[in-house]
Structure 1
Amino acid sequence: MTNIGIVGTGNMGGMLAEVMMDQQSIPQQQMYIYNRTKERSTELQTRYPSINITQDIRELLSKTETVFLCVRPNQYKSLVNELKKHLTLEHVVATITSPVSLKDLETLPARRIVRTVPTILNRTGKAPLLLTFGNHWTNKEKTLFEQWLQTFSEPISITDDTLRISSDFISCGPAFISYLLEQFILAGVKETNITVENAEMLTEKMIISYGHLLGEGHFNFQGLREKVNVPGGITGKGLKVLEKFSEGMFEELIQETHHKYAEDKKEMATLFQGKTDM
């Protein structure tokens, strides 16, 4: 892989930079980063001293062939103007921002546009990464790019009509599950004599081992639940409580994430309708 540029090394951009270098998908010397705040760049450089900090978008694009846009939707306004000025036909532009449409990004000078939606789980070097190619890639180019992504992730091709729900599962899902487990732990501490430390330790070991069970193919979700829930047992009593209080909860969650997604898409679309110089 040629030189890589990352615009924005916040939670996701920084994680992607780290895992790319840790998995040796790209040497430190070929990694170029840009942030609006220099502190984030220098913080990453303390851990990866050979990376290159650029002063602006123009410099980053002049030194790289593939650039990952890892900024929030509300930060795209000034970024789009810079991309229009300094991108070339040969650049590869990868956005991790789900509300921006590939069709709109294809109005930029670069020919090859791709969406690569990550999850915090990508820090392991193994987790899913949602992949959608634009319209102007050759099959060979797609294959080579996907092979490179496989060095630090598990790229999964999706279509735009399932983008938001797919992102709910892999990107938002870890936060949702963490919240539910935190509430489980707090309730255990409140209702019994267990300490927070022991409750957290047991829950962490449970969820790690749970992942191994699924990963090794011993169970699927339903099979695991049925295996644990023996007739007349304690687990069944707990499941009835979950059934009672979770009714409609996840439907509302999905409605909320999709409503926010629709708002962000509308806002992003205005940036590509001749309004970026306002």
Structure 2
Amino acid sequence: MNVGFIGIGSMGSLLIDTFIGSGALKPSQITASNRTFAKAVCLADRHPGLQAVPLNRDAVIDQDIIFLCVKPLEYKNVLDGIRDALLPNQLIISITSPVLLEQLEESVPCKVAKVIPSITNYMCSGTALCMYGSRMTDADILRLNGLLSYISEPLQIDEAHARIVSDLSSCGPAFMSFLLQKFIDAAVEETGISREQARVIASEMLLGTGQLLTSGDMTPEELQARVAVPGGITMQALALLDRELDGVFNSVIRTTHAKYHEDLERVAVSFYGKEVNGP
């Protein structure tokens, strides 16, 4: 399998590093292009055998799968530049939610899919959220999921739910680490414990909590019940959190969805010159 990458920013380079590190791909199986070619050259230096190419078209030719890791408003120009180099049996994968499968299928002659990765994939953990275009066969899905399974748990989702599942899977690590940072800050300010010690303890706690909620088969409610003794310290603190955080995550979700719908409209204008309705 040969895999091309167009765009090697934060997520593109993370995917390449992780596919190689996990053994899913050898560097010689990867071709990468980037708007700043020197960045692609640096990536090739880090992974000897990886081919850095100056043109996006060069990252398409002879590739089985091509990951598009560019900003949503760049998609139309990128697709226009590579369309005549694409073949029907190739698979284009978008990693951004505001670009719709319908828009992709209208723009290219090949198969398309959307995969929303997460920074957790860097540790070969978390999910990869998958949406498959109408031209994909069962064999195509099996091949793609087989590649993604090296670094994640591939999970098929409805495109209409792309934003909320992205909140949980892709934005969630930033949200949870922000809350952890605030917990650590408060511990340091209130008690004088060293920041490094607090960070290590809190980070290990979060790792163990994640394991309890996955391989330990506990729900969040069950975990809280196991820790919080009625009338005890944890129960009091949970009651405080329940009061203070009431509605906070509803506002977070409304905020991300508002930005998503704004992005949907801007992408539609870039593709069609007018606004269209999306999921």
| TM over 0.5, shorter chain | yes
The amino acid of 2:159's aligned partner reads D
- The question of whether the paired residues in 2 share the 8 Å contact of 1:8 and 1:69 is answered with yes
Per-residue deviation at 1:274? 6.3
- Point out the more displaced range, 30-39 or 145-154: 145-154
Does residue 55 of structure 1 match 2:54? yes
* Alpha-carbon shift at residue 272 of structure 1 (Å): 2.4
**Range 252-261 or range 20-29, more displaced:** 20-29
Aligned counterparts, 1:127-276, within 5 A:
127-273=126-272
Aligned twin of 2:120 = 121
Alignment match, 1:104: 103
Q: Distance in 1 between matches of 2:238 and 2:38?
A: 48
Note the alpha carbon deviations across 1:87-132, whole angstroms, 9 max, x for none: 2222210000100000010012333100010000011223200001
Moved more, 62-71 or 98-107: 62-71
Contact 1:19 1:123 (C-alpha < 8 Å) held by counterparts: yes
Structure 1 residue 218: Cα displacement: 4.8
Deviation at 1:188, TM superposition (A): 1.1
Cα-to-partner distance string for 1:142-164 (whole Å, 9 max, x where unaligned): 22322232233211000012111
Which stretch has the larger CA shift, 90-99 or 107-116? Answer: 107-116
Q: Secondary structure at the match of 2:61?
A: helix
Q: CA RMSD in A?
A: 1.6
Secondary structure of the 1:6 match is strand
Measure how far apart 1:24 and its partner are. Answer: 1.7
Structure 1 stretches of 5 or more lacking a match? none
Q: How many residues align?
A: 274
1:23 corresponds in structure 2 to 22
Letter in 2 for 1:247: D
Q: Does the 8 Å CA contact 1:83/1:108 hold for their aligned counterparts? A: no
Once structures 1 and 2 are overlaid, which stretch shifts more, 186-195 or 76-85? 76-85
The aligned residue for residue 277 of structure 2 is none
Deviation larger for 213-222 or 168-177? 213-222
Write the letter of the residue equivalent to 2:154. Answer: P
Report the TM-score, using the length of structure 1 for normalisation.
Answer: 0.93
Deviations 1:40-59 (A, max 9, x none): 22332232121000111111
Q: How far apart, CA to CA, are the structure 1 residues paired with 2:217 and 2:165?
A: 24
Query: TM-score when scaled to structure 2?
Result: 0.93
